[in-house]
Amino acid sequence: MRTSFKTLLLGMVFISLIFTCNKFPAFTGTSASLSDTKYANTRINTGFWDNLPGVIGVPDLDLAINGSELQNTTDDPIRVTINSLENLNSPVNSASLAEAPGNPMNNSSIKANETFNPTYRINLASNSNLTNNHTNLTNNHTNLTNNHTNLTNNHTNLTNNHTNLTNNTNHTNLTGSANLTNTFDLDRTVSLEEASGSTGSIVSGVGSGSGGDGGFGDSDNGEGILPKAFFSNSVTEGYVPLTVQFTDLSENAEEWNWDFGDGTISTEQNPVHTYTATGEYTATLEVSNVNGTNSTFSTIFALQPVLPIANFSSNVTSGTAPLTVQFTDLSENAEEWNWDFGDGAISTEQNPVHTYTATGKYTATLEVSNVNGTNSTFSTIFALQSVLPMADFSSNVTSGTAPLTVQFTDLSENAEEWNWDFGDGAISTEQNPVHTYTATGKYTATLEVSNVNGTNSTFSTIFALQPVLPIANFSSNVTSGTAPLTVQFTDLSENAEEWNWDFGDGAISTEQNPVHTYTATGKYIVTFTAANVNSQSTKTGHISVNE
C-alpha cells in the first residue's frame, strides 16, 4: 500500500506530524518510510534538505508512506488528527544553513518563530475518514533581516546526532507541549503501535535546524477527500465518422472509467474515440480514488453526413457563336464548385459567365462538393453557325394610276428588323406596311432586313401612272323599223370599265353589248354611259319604231 499526505516544509525547519487515532484499527506491520513524490521523488534520508531547487522557502510537498507492510485489516474508519510544529527562534544565518549548499535564500519566506498549519491528506485505507481542521499554532514571529552571506561549502555536515523517536510505545496521548533543543534529524520511519487504551499515535519528521519551543495544538476530526469528475470534449456534434478527444479535468482522481455510450469503454485518462454510426450518445466518465467514486456525462451528437446535390441553370442553351452564357448555381449543401464548360475552359466560381467562341455542341458539367462527398450534373449548350437574314417581299400591285395605294408584304427569312424605303421619300419600320403613291411616276420600293449577324436587302419597282379617262361610243344594227323592233347595241368605248344603257322606253341595262326590243311605235333616245375609276363618258343615239 502506498499512502500519501501533503504538508508544507519551511526550508530547513523541523516538521513534526502527530496523528492521533481516536479509534485505533488493527494493523499489520509496524512501520513505513517516507518519500517526497513531488520534487525529490526519493526517500527522505537523514540530513537531506527537501525543498524547491534553488530556493529556501515554503515549498508544497507530497510525502508518501512507502511499502506494503502497513495494512489496515479492518473496515473500521480511521480518525486522524494532524498537528504541525515549526520553529525558528532566531533569524536564519549562514551557520544554520549548513546543509543547503548553493541554495540562495528567499528571505521573505523564512521568519523567526513562525509556524504553519498546512492541509494534509493521508489515506490508510479505502474507507478512511480524515480530518482537515487544524488548530492554528503561534504566530508571534519577527521578520528576518537581510544581512545574509552566500553559502559556501565549508560548513559542517549534519549527521546522525538525532534523537530516535521511533519507540514511543508508552505514549497514549501526545497533546500538550514539547521542548526541542540542539541540532537534530528525525528518523524517517513511521511507527504504529497499539496502545492499551483507545488511543494510538504515528510520529514522523523530516528536516534539520536549530531547536526551539513549540506546542502541539488540539485536534479535530475530518473525512477523506473524494474525487470530483469533470471533463471536456473537443466537439459535441459532427458528421460520422466523428472523432472526439476527451480531456480529463477531474480533481483527486486516481482511476478513470469511460463509457462512450456506443458500447465501447476506456480506462485511459484522456482517450480519443470515434463514433462510426449516427446517433445521440451519452459519454460518461466515472473517476475514483481510495475514498470513493464520482461521475459526470456529456451528450455527443453523431449526425448523418449531408451530401451535396448538384444543379444549375443557364440563361440560354443555344445561339449563334460567339455565344455568351450565364451559368447560375442551384445546388444544395455545396461548399466548392468545379465547372467544365466542354470547350477546354474551367472555373471554380459559383456563378460563372462563359463565352463559346466556336460553333459546336458542348456539354457543360458542374461538380459540387463538401466535406462529405461530391455530386455532378450537366447541360448541353449549342453554339450555332451565324445565320444571316434574307430579304424578300411582295406587293398587291406594281403599277396603277395615281393616287396608287400599295400593300407591301414581308417574305424575308431570319429577319429581326425591317426598314422600308418607298422611293418617294417615305419610310417605314413596320413588317407589312401600306403606302399610297399620290403622284405619277416610277418608284423603287426597297426593303432592308437585319439580325444580330448582319443585314440584307431587296427592292421592287412601282409605277404610278397618269389617270386614263373613258371615251363612250356605241353602234346599233338598225336605227328604225316596224314594231316590234329588236335592236343589237355594240359598245365601241375606250378605257371603259363599266357600262350603263338607258333605251328611252324605261328599260335599262349594264351589259357591255345588250339586245333590246321596242314593242310600241315611237321615237326613242338611247343614252350610253362608259366609266372607269378615273371618270365616265356619255353618248346618245336615236331609234324610230313605225306602224
CA 480 to chain centre: 118
**Under 8 Å between Cβ of 198 and 23:** yes
- Provide the pairing of β-strand 189-191 with 31-36: antiparallel
Cell 477546354 found at: 344
Query: Cell for 179?
Result: 521542548
Pick one of 3.10.180.10, 2.60.40.10, 1.10.760.10, 3.40.50.800 as the CATH number of 231-303: 2.60.40.10
Which class is 393-465 in CATH? mainly beta
- Block means of pLDDT (10 residues each) for the chain, length 547 residues? 31 32 34 44 38 39 42 36 33 31 34 32 30 30 33 34 32 28 28 29 30 28 77 92 95 96 97 95 95 94 91 94 95 97 97 96 96 94 90 95 94 96 97 96 96 92 90 96 96 96 96 96 96 93 93
Residues linked to residue 515 through DSSP beta bridges, in sequence order: 488
Domain limits, the chain: 1-225, 231-303, 312-384, 393-465, 474-546
Residue 181 has a pLDDT of 28
**What's the confidence (pLDDT) of residue 460?**
95
Contact in structure between 544 and 479 (CB atoms under 8 Å): yes
Q: Give DSSP secondary structure letters for 197-218.
A: SS-EEEEEEE-----EEEEEPP
The pTM (predicted TM-score) of the whole model is: 0.36
Distance CA 210, CA 446 (A): 131
Taking the C-alpha atoms of 187, 189, 195 and 199 in order, what is their torsion angle to the nearest 10 degrees? Answer: 90
Amino acid letter for position 336: E
pLDDT at 467: 87
Are 129 and 79 a contacting pair, CB within 8 Å?
A: yes
Fold: same for 231-303 and 393-465 = yes
H or E element, residue 82: strand 82-85
Q: What is the pLDDT of residue 517?
A: 96
**Spatial distance between the Cα atoms of 364 and 351, rounded to a whole number of angstroms:** 13
Domain 312-384: CATH superfamily is Immunoglobulins (2.60.40.10)
CATH of the domain spanning 474-546, picked from 3.40.50.920, 3.30.540.10, 2.160.20.60, 2.60.40.10 = 2.60.40.10
At 223 the pLDDT is 53
